[in-house]
Amino acid sequence: MKLEREITPTVKETQAQPESKSVPNWIMMLLAVSCGIIVANLYYAQTLVGPISTAMGLSPGSAGLIVTLTQVGYVLGLLFIVPLSDIIENRRLTVAALIMVVGALVAATLAPNSLIFLTASLLIGLGSVAAQILVPYATYLASEHQRGRVVGNVMSGLLLGIMFARPLASFITDLWGWQAVFTLSAVLITLLTILLSHALPKRKPVPTMNYGQLLGSLATLLKATPILRRRAIYQACLFGAFSLFWTVVPLRLAGHYHLSQQGIALFALAGVAGAVAAPIAGRLADKGLSHLMSGLAIAIALLAFVVTYIFQSTSNTALILLVLVAILLDMGVSGSLVLGQRAIYSLGNETRGRLNGLFMAIFFVGGAIGSFIGAWSYAYGGWTLTVLLGMSLPILAMLYYFTEKRTA
């Protein structure tokens, strides 16, 4: 069947990837750091929704677009750029995407109005898919027995970038204003682009189809790959809850706990502890515990919202518990992400870029919906409605988890 030929690695790819090889530590470290720096661009604005929306004249109900459009751009990049990693030399593709990010960051810094800023936000998300070219690139270098460890370590870098982005953005904004966040990121991405263009080994896949056929194969892959569908739905629900929480909680902290940008930064810094779940989940998945750990990750995310719903006062105790909620939610989401990526990366080398693009696109759709719903519900229904909507997402994931009859 045609599908089997697409999923099965070509002889050339298989020979280039012997089971005995090991990923050099410096390459793993470079990829982890690079993914973290790149993907941070998706999250800088999450704790800056307040000051950016004020500067750009956006209403409270529209403020969520600042985060949502970046995620929409990321989804578009996952669907239309990441699949190119199956037919185009990966280093060159990564560099081209990063050049787009630099241009968009400069535009965001200089934006005179909301239209230009929101357009730049979309392009920042579009180019930041470079991180999702590098993650499957890392698994291409790894042998099967170390794939979970490699994914866990590289994803730890990516997740640390996500989690440090929020406090770093708040600290910088407190010192120099929100525009400085985008300026400094543009400089950092420029330096990273130069480094990767010289340091990364080339990885030229063996094309089996043209770009049109490649995009057309996405629907076929999604239909024929139940593991992909299941993992993507789990992650869409959890990431939707994650995005909802982190879009709204800075507004909650400023409005009800009267925290400054520096205080919000310290709160966001606590979420970094959640990244510890990524390498642990990867190692446990290598031991065949993916199914059990998936259920645990969903349960942890659900527990976070239950605690949030029960303790809604403005007391110091409630604030401390909110910090715990942030850590638990980040743990659940990061653990589930690594488990999902390890599962889909085991499906074949030729299709890995497309599988990863589909997986990430589906769950980022969940994230974009979560960001938008979070801003809307908080503006018109307050914290209680927002928490209830957030809680419903891991509940949906748990109900779907109970339909799973085998490890995936």
User: In the numeric block, which tokens belong to residue 265?
Assistant: 């930064």
Q: CA quadruple 398, 73, 55, 114: dihedral positive or negative?
A: negative
Consecutive 10-residue averages of pLDDT for the chain (408 residues) = 35 42 76 93 87 88 84 91 87 96 97 94 96 83 70 77 86 93 97 93 81 87 90 94 91 88 84 72 77 92 94 87 91 87 75 80 88 89 94 96 73
Is the separation of the CB atoms in 202 and 91 below 8 Å? Answer: yes
- The neighbour count for residue 215, using CB atoms within 10 Å, is 15
Residue 350 contacts by C-beta under 8 Å, 6 or more apart in sequence?
Answer: 6, 7, 8, 9, 10, 13, 86, 205, 206, 208
pLDDT at 23: 65
> How much is the pTM?
0.78
pLDDT at 276: 72
Listed residue (355, 406, 291) closest to 139, CA to CA: 355
pLDDT at 102: 98
Token pair 């892959």 is found at 221
pLDDT at 206: 76
Determine the Cα–Cα distance for residues 319 and 364; give it in Å rounded to an integer. 28
**How many residues would you count in the chain?**
408
- In angstroms, how far is CA 121 from the centroid of its own chain? 16
- Please report, in angstroms and rounded to a whole number, the separation of the first and last CA atoms in the chain: 23
pLDDT at 21: 56
pLDDT at 22: 65
Q: Which CATH class is domain 22-401?
A: mainly alpha
- The neighbour count for residue 317, using CB atoms within 10 Å, is 9
